[in-house]
Amino acid sequence: KPVVAIVGRPNVGKSTIFNRIVGERVAIVEDKPGVTRDRIYGTGEWLNREFHIIDTGGIDIGDEPIVRQMRHQAELAIDEADVIVFIVDGKEGLTGADEEVAQMLYRSQKPVVLAVNKVDHPEMLERTYDFYSLGLGEVFAISGAHGRGLGDMLDEVHSSVPQDIEDDYDADTIKMSVIGRPNVGKSSLVNTLLGEERVIVSNVPGTTRDAVDTPFTRDDQDYVLIDTAGMRKRGKVYETTEKYSVLRALKAIDRSDVVLVVIDGYEGIIEQDKKIAGYAHEAGRAVIIVVNKWDAVEKDDKTMKRFEKEVRESFQFLNYAPILFLSAKTKQRVQHVLPTVKEVSERHNMRVPTNVLNDLIVDAVTMNPTPTDHRGHRLRIKYATQVAVGPPTFVLFVNEPELLHFSYERFIENQIRETFDFEGTPIRIFARKK
């Protein structure tokens, strides 16, 4: 998904506009009580196209003078976004800070959509004229408070988004990324993996937009490691704004087949670990949970079981993900990572025979009858078929789709998993009327 960043001085109305665009559809990473105040990442949709949106004003960059804060925001937006929405204040008029930011944006050559906010009445339109002097092209008059003008602005955002750049990797190449909060050992793991004896790293890194990918081969299998969180491009900005690396992680997940979710076995699991893992799951990627720094953990014969239980409880939605306990530092068990990546990637793309699937459904229904609703209508599954891979997606043709409740869907999923080995990949089940 393309990334749209909102930039502008404090109080120009960035978060109002952000909230209007995101609506109720808040990305899972921020979808927790208590963080609504600094809800800065979301997903929006316009003309059937989804995009990530970020309110750079919500990024905590410490106590700095406004002009410097804005410079940081603009830098981040320029680095990360495909389109920048620059919001200025029609009531206050043009300021020096606006001019400075406009120059930075202009020089970046990224597409910029300039919106003058707080134009609540048509008589105020003439206040927008000054802003043409910023040299950023068309000026969109909007009112975040009333929601006016946002449609035109979003049309412009939509048409400014570069056409999706297709990843030009072979279909057989496994695209993988390593995600996790700062200091869990992502870079160490990547270095250990790429340093493995049987791993041959191509000389030329593949570049897709701003990310630096590392293609490599092991045992005749091609992989590409998609960079996240500036692991291989760590600038001052990233150090001061760790939070921003979430966005990089989201983008990397979008492009991956397999995601390694790294947690720190020594420090344990924290809330932040769950957020990005949740996104990998939502995005339908194959997932492996890596418990790193296992060398530093004082262990007895029950430690691993205990930690595994904790992982399962904390990441219930990832109950299909294998867990690898390892040490990037001592290289202990790191040799299992790539074979596991390969396995889960194969399962992510596995197709099951329709007849076996339908036999399984018949058996499942015999064992556990389908639910009925208060009117006595019973769910009837007529036929099932797999419609997609990556992740495996199944459609059940039924009499009334509303009758397929979550718990029965879960049951069917478990039956499918008992018959076919889908370890490491989410699977999706939909009901359609037949």
- Pick from 268, 259, 286: nearest CA to 179: 259
Whether residue 168 is annotated as binding a ligand: the answer is no
Nearer Cβ to ligand GDP, position 261 or 403? 261
For residue 149, what are its two tokens?
A: 């003008």
Nearer Cβ to ligand GDP, position 327 or 345? 327
Whether residue 14 is annotated as binding a ligand: the answer is yes
CB of 214 to ligand GDP, least distance (A): 14
CB of 342 to ligand GDP, least distance (A): 22
CB of 196 to ligand GDP, least distance (A): 15
Residue sitting closest to ligand GDP (CB): 185
Nearer Cβ to ligand GDP, position 148 or 329? 329
State the DSSP string of 271-289: HHHHHHHHHHHHTT-EEEE
Nearer Cβ to ligand GDP, position 5 or 260? 260
Whether residue 67 is annotated as binding a ligand: the answer is no
CA gap 19, 145 in Å, rounded = 11
CB of 338 to ligand GDP, least distance (A): 17
The two beta strands, 139-141 and 381-388, are unpaired
Nearer Cβ to ligand GDP, position 184 or 398? 184
Whether residue 58 is annotated as binding a ligand: the answer is yes
CB of 248 to ligand GDP, least distance (A): 12
User: Please, is 63 exposed, middle or buried when counting C-beta atoms within 10 Å of its C-beta (0-12, 13-18, 19+)?
Assistant: exposed
CB of 188 to ligand GDP, least distance (A): 3
For residue 98, what are its two tokens?
A: 């606006």
Whether residue 31 is annotated as binding a ligand: the answer is no
CB of 282 to ligand GDP, least distance (A): 22
Cβ neighbours, 10 Å, residue 149: 17
Are 37 and 56 a contacting pair, CB within 8 Å? no
Whether residue 62 is annotated as binding a ligand: the answer is no
Whether residue 231 is annotated as binding a ligand: the answer is yes
CB of 365 to ligand GDP, least distance (A): 46
Nearer Cβ to ligand GDP, position 200 or 296? 296
Whether residue 363 is annotated as binding a ligand: the answer is no
**Beta-bridge mates of residue 85:** 6, 113
Whether residue 295 is annotated as binding a ligand: the answer is yes
Instruction: Give backbone dihedrals phi and psi of 296, rounded to 5 degrees, phi first.
Output: -85, -5
Amino acid at 89: D
User: Please, is 138 exposed, middle or buried when counting C-beta atoms within 10 Å of its C-beta (0-12, 13-18, 19+)?
Assistant: exposed
CA gap 261, 277 in Å, rounded = 6
- Pick from 173, 182, 273, 301: nearest CA to 226: 173
State the DSSP string of 226-257: EP-TTTTS--HHHHH-GGGHHHHHHHHHHH-S
- Judged by the rule CB under 6 A, the positions of this chain that interact with ligand GDP are 180, 182-188, 231, 292-293, 295-296, 327-329
Whether residue 46 is annotated as binding a ligand: the answer is no
Residue 379 is given by DSSP the state -
Nearer Cβ to ligand GDP, position 153 or 249? 249
- Pick from 135, 144, 96, 146: nearest CA to 116: 144
**Beta-bridge mates of residue 4:** 53, 83
Nearer Cβ to ligand GDP, position 85 or 276? 276
CA gap 424, 434 in Å, rounded = 31
3-state secondary structure of 431: strand
Binding-site residues from annotation for GTP: 8-15, 55-59, 117-120, 180-187, 227-231, 292-295
Mark the binding-site residues, compressed into ranges.
8-15, 55-59, 117-120, 180-187, 227-231, 292-295
